């Protein structure tokens, strides 16, 4: 084993960008990199630890003894320690032993930039270099048409560890197994995208992946990094986009993680009022520190660049935006203008989105943001945060609250349904029924539906049909697509055995058909974020709990008429106003027998009458099944 050799991947310009918070490709410089120098093979290491007085690389190759492989600190006051160590090869495990200038603290840390980590509960980093050969060039060349704001965007949210288990071995499926089973299932269900709950390495299973320690490494629970690339590649081969949950909001205090990295608050904000999250008992990034911004934005770019990811759903944006988030009076400090907004975090998010869309204009960033903070999904040049979409949490809350009511009471609460249209076009909204809605005693989605079994499933079909015809894109958490009755449990597989029952298989069939309806009708996606794509027909029939609206594409002929009945009483000869003459043709009915509905439908074309009704020149009389959505087209 040779000694550490002075060597660097950093140029002076790299250091300038890093210190300015503008180096967005740090993964090419920091961490461990296999290389050959003067004919000698080994590994180059680089780590940021400005308060260290010494940094040793320790591992099996030196019996975890510090001092044998001491890195050199750069002369330029960047705080970067680096060096080339001969003979360290791919697969060797290591950590950094850091002696701090601050109170002589000693820490032993995993590499924040490691490309692979040991399988938890082990915590060391692994020297790694991927050898995967991508086969998705056709997808990448055509990705824009799948990811634009006027394309269908229907997302299946998945927790890889609990989607399906290998029953015989009582374990989660591997990346390789998922590349076969999960990909084919998402394709069968006709979703356009899959969203994976965090796959970056995390130490604690009950965190579901939202407390990260290995930001640049897919979790080793399911296999090697190149096997995760295979999973992404297989999705792309099936024309399915891949979105990753990404967590730049907080990180755990685990000893091997980012906290007190060099004995000081390096990555976290030193002021506990800004640097500690009371809800999650975790540390909050210091968004005002330039090197931390370089780290975070580089990490986002890494997944888009190295793993061909098609979008990032940014977790817990509200907690980043507001200094008083989950804090009582006296536990937070206002910004320089006396407000509650975290100005440094806002600047970070704008720079993040500017860099992502400049480098990858055909991807999407999606904000999980639960407040009324304005212009989250508007461009930064207009003063927005620059995200592509924002979760419509208000729609989710109001709609689930409405559906939980017995139908006899719904006539008093119709505004809970219609209120979303007063702000539906202020952002580019995604309608989420996510994992957060089926945990912690909230019950499953089907479990919230009132009535007997028939009414519960009819309500669920109605909810999904209303969701897919409402303006915006859609997201559905795994299990909800076949009406899983139990709350989600990350330790157990979904209850796939339920599909042997007609009610549950009927829900699966309607999700397939709703995805097909969405993808095949431009009226549901071409103008999904603009007021031009929506028009009320009737939102005032509280007594019957019926609403009707038009969804519009860029061509008038593509328009769809949507009518929803939120009671178990069928409505016959129900008159609706229409924009033009012709005939109504039923193209979708959530009460169809194939979904285990009652089968009440409009089997024949309905003539549109020249009759003033609901402020329109034309009208038609239709049949609306109980607890159902019916979709029509106007045929000339």
Which positions are catalytic? Answer: 315, 368
Q: Tokens for 607?
A: 């003539």
Per the DSSP assignment, residues forming a β-bridge with 562 are 549, 631
CA–centroid distance for 88 within its chain: 37
β-bridge mates for residue 56, sequence order: 70, 97
Q: Coil, strand, or helix at residue 27?
A: helix
Map 143-165 to HEC letters: HHHHHCCCCCCEEEEECCCCCCE
Which tokens belong to 398? Answer: 């109001």
Q: How far apart are CA 287 and CA 23, in angstroms?
A: 15
Residue 18, both tokens: 């890093």
3-state DSSP of 174-220:
CHHHHHHHHHHHHHHCCCCEEEECCCEECCCHHHCCCCCCEEEEECH
Q: Find the helix or strand (DSSP H, E) in which 298 lies.
A: helix 290-306
Contact partners, residue 540, CB within 8 Å, separation at least 6: none
509 CB neighbour count, 10 Å cutoff = 18
Cβ 461 vs Cβ 480: under 8 Å = no
Q: How many CB atoms lie within 10 A of CB 557?
A: 11
**Cα–Cα separations (whole angstroms), residue 190 to 238, 496, 552, 573:** 10, 18, 22, 34
2: DSSP letter = P
| 267 burial via Cβ count (<10 Å: 0-12, 13-18, 19+) | buried
CB 94 within 8 A of CB 57: yes
Length of the chain as a residue count: 636
- Let me know the angle formed at the C-alpha of 415 by 414 and 421, rounded to the nearest 5 degrees: 120
Facing residues of 99 across strands? Answer: 54, 106
Consecutive H or E run containing 560: strand 560-565
Alpha-carbon dihedral of residues 48, 52, 57, 59, nearest 10 degrees? -110
Measured distance CA(263)–CA(366) in Å, rounded: 35
Angle at the Cα of 508 from the Cα atoms of 507 and 509, rounded to 5 degrees: 90
The one-character DSSP state at 268 is B
What are the distances in angstroms from CA 155 to CA 194, 199, 395, 532? 5, 17, 17, 24
**How far, in Å, CA of 373 to CA of 388, rounded?**
15
Distance set, CA 409 to CA 435, 450, 454, 570 (Å): 28, 11, 19, 17
* Rounded alpha-carbon distances, angstroms, from residue 369 to 17, 315, 319, 390, 391: 30, 8, 8, 7, 6
> Which region, left, alpha or beta, applies to residue 618 given φ > 0 means left and ψ of -120 to 50 means alpha?
beta
């Amino acid at each position: 084993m040779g000694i550490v050799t002075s060597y660097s991947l950093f140029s002076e310009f790299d250091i300038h960008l890093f210190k300015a918070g503008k180096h967005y490709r740090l993964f090419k410089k920091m961490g461990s990199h296999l290389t050959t120098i003067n004919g000698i093979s080994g590994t180059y290491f680089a780590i940021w630890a400005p308060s260290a007085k010494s940094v040793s690389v320790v591992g099996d190759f030196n019996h975890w003894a510090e001092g044998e492989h001491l890195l050199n600190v750069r002369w330029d006051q960047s705080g970067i320690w680096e060096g080339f160590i001969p003979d360290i090869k791919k697969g060797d495990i290591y950590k950094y032993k850091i002696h701090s200038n601050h109170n002589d603290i000693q820490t032993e840390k995993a590499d924040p930039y490691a490309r692979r980590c040991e399988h938890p509960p082990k915590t060391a980093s692994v020297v790694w270099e991927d050898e995967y050969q991508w086969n998705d060039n056709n997808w990448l060349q055509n990705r824009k048409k799948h990811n634009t704001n006027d394309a269908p965007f229907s997302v299946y949210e998945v927790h890889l560890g609990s989607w399906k288990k290998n029953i015989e071995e009582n374990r989660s499926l591997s990346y390789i197994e998922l590349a076969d089973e999960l990909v084919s299932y998402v394709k069968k269900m006709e979703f356009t995208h899959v969203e994976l709950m965090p796959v970056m390495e995390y130490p604690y299973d009950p965190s579901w992946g939202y407390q990260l320690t290995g930001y640049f490494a897919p979790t080793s629970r399911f296999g090697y990094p190149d096997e995760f690339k295979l999973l992404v590649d297989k999705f792309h081969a099936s024309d399915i986009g891949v979105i990753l949950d990404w967590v730049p909001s907080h990180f755990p205090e685990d000893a091997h993680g980012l906290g007190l990295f060099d004995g000081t608050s390096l990555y976290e904000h030193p002021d506990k009022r800004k640097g500690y999250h009371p809800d999650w008992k975790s540390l909050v990034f210091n968004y005002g520190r330039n090197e931390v911004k370089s780290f975070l934005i580089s990490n986002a770019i890494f997944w888009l660049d190295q793993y061909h990811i098609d979008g990032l759903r940014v977790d817990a944006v509200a907690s980043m935006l507001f200094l008083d988030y989950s804090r009582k009076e006296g536990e937070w400090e206002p910004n320089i203008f006396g407000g509650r907004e975290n100005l440094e975090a806002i600047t970070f998010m704008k720079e993040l989105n500017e860099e992502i869309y400049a480098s990858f204009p055909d991807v999407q960033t999606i904000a999980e943001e639960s407040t009324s903070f304005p212009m989250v999904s508007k461009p930064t040049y207009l003063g927005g945060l620059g995200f592509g979409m924002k979760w419509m949490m208000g729609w989710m809350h109001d709609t689930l609250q409405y559906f939980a009511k017995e139908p006899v009471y719904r006539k008093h609460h119709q505004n809970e349904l219609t209120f979303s249209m007063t702000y539906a076009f202020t952002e580019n909204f995604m309608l989420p029924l996510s994992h957060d809605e089926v945990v912690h005693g909230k019950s499953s989605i089907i479990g919230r539906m009132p009535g007997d079994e028939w009414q519960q499933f009819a309500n669920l079909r109605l909810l999904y049909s209303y969701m897919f015809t409402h303006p915006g894109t859609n997201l559905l958490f795994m299990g909800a697509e076949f009406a899983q009755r139990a709350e989600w449990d990350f330790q157990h597989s979904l209850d796939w055995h339920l599909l042997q029952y007609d009610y549950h298989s009927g829900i699966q069939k309607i999700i397939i058909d709703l995805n097909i309806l969405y993808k095949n009708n431009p009226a549901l996606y071409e103008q999904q974020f603009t007021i031009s794509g929506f028009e009320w027909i009737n939102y005032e029939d509280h007594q019957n709990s019926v609403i009707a609206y038009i969804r519009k594409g860029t061509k008038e002929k593509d328009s769809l008429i949507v009518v929803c009945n939120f009671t178990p009483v069928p409505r016959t000869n129900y008159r609706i106003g229409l924009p033009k003459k012709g005939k109504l043709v039923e193209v979708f009915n959530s009460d169809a027998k194939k979904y285990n509905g009652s089968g009440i439908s409009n089997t024949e074309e309905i003539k549109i009458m020249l009759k003033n009704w609901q402020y329109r020149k034309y009208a038609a009389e239709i049949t609306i099944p109980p607890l159902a959505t019916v979709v029509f087209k106007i045929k000339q």
